[in-house]
Structure 1
């Protein structure tokens, strides 16, 4: 859930910090107080399109930061961790800054990320719904994913199996396409590959050669310093009054002491061992000094070889190992091009087998989707009845994708996509006798609100969102429909945190937390503030929403009655 939201220099908001609770939180206030601006800020936080117009006049940048609490099984956790970002104590902090120059800076848990990553994580945390929203429900291309989540684990497993085969199918198809390029392009490619292979082969590279040569080069370049250090180390040990002489004296005195006190025998042996180790080390130092030879010609040879390797690195890889791996890959490509007809036949046979497997998995997906579609349509219809759309009919249309390459498999023409061979779209007939139409084209604002709410009631448990935001989805409704919408919104809030901007007193009365957005003025500038309402203040605000202008005792009594009725309904929801 969204626990904290901080907004700085965003539109008319100079500084605002809001804490949110679980359940249903309602935001109300006068028109222009900044309710929708708060939702716009959240939209920007989860990856929405930024604009310099969002930066408050006179400020250098707009800043929005949100703290979210998540559970272990939520998709957002996987997305954050896959981006290499640590999560501590189940908390995710999103931060977005827009400078007055239009630069966008995004962070997740303090780590800089791209806008694409912020959007991917943010949209798995929050789903913002408005009367004319452009989220999943109103995008036909997203309907298949929504149906698949509703269908559950069995379909998800079938989809993974299909996608594994699909990835292989596309890979083999790409190889066939490359081999079928015209002969002139193939000839040019072969010439280029042969040139590259010849250049690499003539270099006679050995794995790790560059690293070994660098070590030898460093040693030769510092040979004089090495000689001096070894010689001085040897002379520090050997010679009259040097290290070994003093160590020998210590050894003799230690043996004499041990002959008097047997408890010192172990200490004496340690001194003896140290002496002999030092003596052996001094001989090794002497041998190294005697063997050292500085060969300027060898250094020149190494530098020339390293230059040659560096030239190859610029073309083929960052190390000798990468160069050799590249040579192996183009050797394989050369073999494919030289024997392309034979390879094409092999790949075509592989494609034929894969397409059969792919079709079988796709048909399984289609069957599972059809089963889920019937169940989803039935459940949504029941929800629409409760929202006084008794005659509405929802149909989940499962057809053939309209775009894509067509294949003939087992005498059947299909279009393979990453999601299968199905195009899924929600169709609706809002009234008796009306034809089914795409959900995205249903025109009535009140109908859109109820249909969307019905879908959200069914799908909220399958969307893995931490927070749902309804931005004036109750526009265009009143009376008993308004009461039904209020009850549905509260029903959704039982399993998900819901934030709702509303003008309906029925919805406000159902709130677990009521936040009042107030517009003021400070030093000639507009300011926005947010405050939670106590019970009596909540009644006054609902009375204002009922009356519109003047609050009377009658409207207060009506508001109290709404709040009391809402309290009685909540346990039953």
Structure 2
């Protein structure tokens, strides 16, 4: 859930910080007070398009920050991990800054990210629905995914099985198309690959050869320094400086002391052990000095070999391993091109087998989709009835006979479009062609009521989706929004007293002029203040004893409905 939101220097907001609770939070206020500005800020926080126009006049930058608490197994964990972002103690902080120059800086848990990354992560946290967001229902391309989402418990595994086979099918089809290119292109491609393979083979590369040569070059390049250092070390022990002789004399004196007093034996033992170790080290240094030999010709050979390897790296890979992998890859392609006809036959046989598997998996997927389409139809009709659209008929329509006329696509064999009839006796037509704006709003709310149980979105935001309705429809919409809030935190901007009365938390947005500047503020309303605000929403102009009475009555009715 969205725990806390902080906004600074954004539009007419100078600075606000507000904490949110679970359940339904309703934001109300006079027109122009800044309700939609709050939604604009949230939209930017989760990766929306920014602009310098959002920065408060006279300020250098706008700042938006949100703290979210996540439940276990929330999809945000997996999405954040993809981008290398750690989530500790179930908390994630999104932050966005927009400079007056238009430059945008995004952070997730303190890590700088791109806007697209912020959008990917933010999409798992907040789902924003504005007055026109229901227009997405007009896009028939999303209807199939909505159905799959509804029946995900059975459809998702079947869809994954289908996708696994389709991936092989698609790769095989591409190979066949590549092999069926015209003869001239094939010959040219074969010549190029054979030239590349011969060049790599001629080099006779060995794994990690470049690293070994670089180490050897480094040693030869530092030969004089290494030799001088080893020689000085040896001289210090065995040469004119007589390091070991001094220690030997020391041992003699300590032996005398130990003979006179046993307590000095441990000192003698330590020095004697050190002497033997240093003596052994001196022998090793002498052997190393005897074996060191500078070969300037070897250095030239190494340089030439490294240059040859670097030339190959520029063409075929950044490491020797990548070059050898590329070699294996083109060797396979050469074999395939040389035996093109036989290879095409093998691939076409494989493709035919995969097509049979796709038909089986696709048919099973279609069966499950039709099963869940029936369940979705029943659920939608139930929700629409409660929204006073009980005469409306809804049906997901499958476009073609996918079993007998399969059209292999990445999501299966089906085309699904939502059809609707809003008046008795009228035929079913595509939803996009028959639904009015108000009907689409209620259809969207019906779908959201159903899908909120499955989506796992942390927060759902409704921005005046109840515009243009009143009476019993307004009450039905209020109850639907409250139902959604049982499964996800809901933030709702509304002008309807019925929706405000349903709120678990009621925030009043207002604006005032301070020192010649407009400033927006947020206030959490107590019970009495909530009654007054609902009375204002009812009356529209003047709060009277009667509107106060109506507000109290509406709250009492709402309280009873919440308990049922």
Same fold (TM > 0.5): yes
Shift of 1:345: 1.1
Deviation by residue 1:91-117 (Cα, 9 ceiling, x = unmatched)? 122222333333333222122222222
Cα distance 1:249–1:145, how it changes in 2: closer, same or farther (>3 A)? Answer: farther
1:362-401 paired onto structure 2 within 5 Å: 362-400=362-400
**In 2, Cα distance between equivalents of 1:450 and 1:354:** 43
The residue that corresponds to 2:313 in the other structure is 313
> CA deviation digits over 1:257-289, x for unaligned, max 9?
666677876765554443222212111111222
Q: Name the SS of the counterpart of 2:5 in structure 1.
A: strand
Confirm or deny that 1:524 pairs with 2:485: no
Quote the residue 2:359 is aligned against.
359
Cα distance, 1:118–1:138 mapped onto 2, change above 3 Å: farther
Q: CA deviation at 1:42?
A: 1.2
Inter-partner Cα distance in structure 2 for 1:485 and 1:395: 22
- Separation in structure 2 between the aligned mates of residue 186 and residue 257 of structure 1, nearest angstrom: 92
CA 557–338 in structure 1, closer or farther in 2 if over 3 Å, else same? same
- Tell me how far apart the structure 2 counterparts of residues 271 and 136 of structure 1 sit (CA, whole Å): 85
Mapped contact 2:166–2:358 kept (Cα < 8 A):
yes
- The equivalent position to 2:562 in structure 1, one of 559, 570, 573, is 570
Equivalent positions of 1:554-565 (< 5 A) are: 554-565=546-557
Render the CA deviation track for 1:276-319: whole Å, top value 9, x for unaligned.
22212111111222222222222222222222221221111112
| In structure 2, distance between residues paired with 1:159 and 1:74 | 22
Contact 2:24 2:505 in 1 (8 A): yes
- Which moves more between the two structures, 2-11 or 338-347? 2-11
1:418 Cα shift? Answer: 1.9
- Quote the offset at 1:445 in angstroms: 3.0
CA distance in 1, matches of 2:111, 2:363: 43
- The 1-side partners of 2:241 and 2:76 are apart by 73
The aligned counterpart of 1:453 is 445
SS of the residue 2:123 aligns to: helix
Task: Indicate whether 1:514 and 2:512 are aligned.
Answer: no
Counting only pairs closer than 5 Å after superposition, residues 146-225 of structure 1 correspond to structure 2 as 146-225=146-225
TM-score normalised according to structure 2 size? 0.95
Cα distance in 2, alignment partners of residues 82 and 438 from structure 1 = 38
Deviation at 1:449, TM superposition (A): 2.4
Cα displacement (A) at 1:152:
3.2
Number of residues paired by the alignment? 564
Q: Single out whichever of 547-556 and 154-163 deviates more from structure 2.
A: 154-163
Is the Cα contact below 8 Å between 2:135 and 2:440 reproduced in 1?
A: no
Structure 1 unaligned segments of length 5 or more: list them.
Answer: 402-408
| Conservation of the 8 A alpha-carbon contact between 1:96 and 1:106 | yes
Question: What's the TM-score, normalizing by structure 1?
Answer: 0.93
Deviates more, 1:499-508 or 1:319-328: 319-328
Alignment of 1:461-540 (within 5 A): 461-540=453-532
Q: Are the counterparts in 2 of residues 69 and 92 from structure 1 also a CA contact under 8 Å? A: yes
Q: Name the SS for the 2:376 alignment partner.
A: helix
Q: Distance in 1 between matches of 2:239 and 2:77?
A: 69
How far apart are the structure 1 equivalents of 2:8 and 2:29? 20
Shift of 1:515: 0.5
Output one character per residue of 1:379-418: Cα deviation in whole Å (capped at 9) or x when no partner.
11111111111111111222349xxxxxxx99x3322222
Pairwise CA distance, 1:355: 1.2
Query: Separation in 2 of the partners of 1:141 and 1:61?
Result: 39
Cα separation, 2, equivalents of 1:105 and 1:373: 43
Deviates more, 1:506-515 or 1:194-203: 194-203
Task: State the partner residue of 1:98.
Answer: 98
Whether contact under 8 Å (1:45, 1:94) holds in the other structure is yes
Q: Contact 1:450–1:485 at 8 Å: present in 2 too?
A: yes
Distance 1:259 1:444, change over 3 A: same
Unaligned runs of 5+ in 2: none
Write the distance in 1 (CA, Å) between the matches of 2:360 and 2:201.
47
C-alpha distance in structure 2 between counterparts of 1:257 and 1:563, whole Å? 100
Sort the Cα spacing of 1:437 and 1:114 in 2 relative to 1 into closer, same or farther, 3 A.
Answer: farther
CA-atom RMSD in angstroms: 2.2
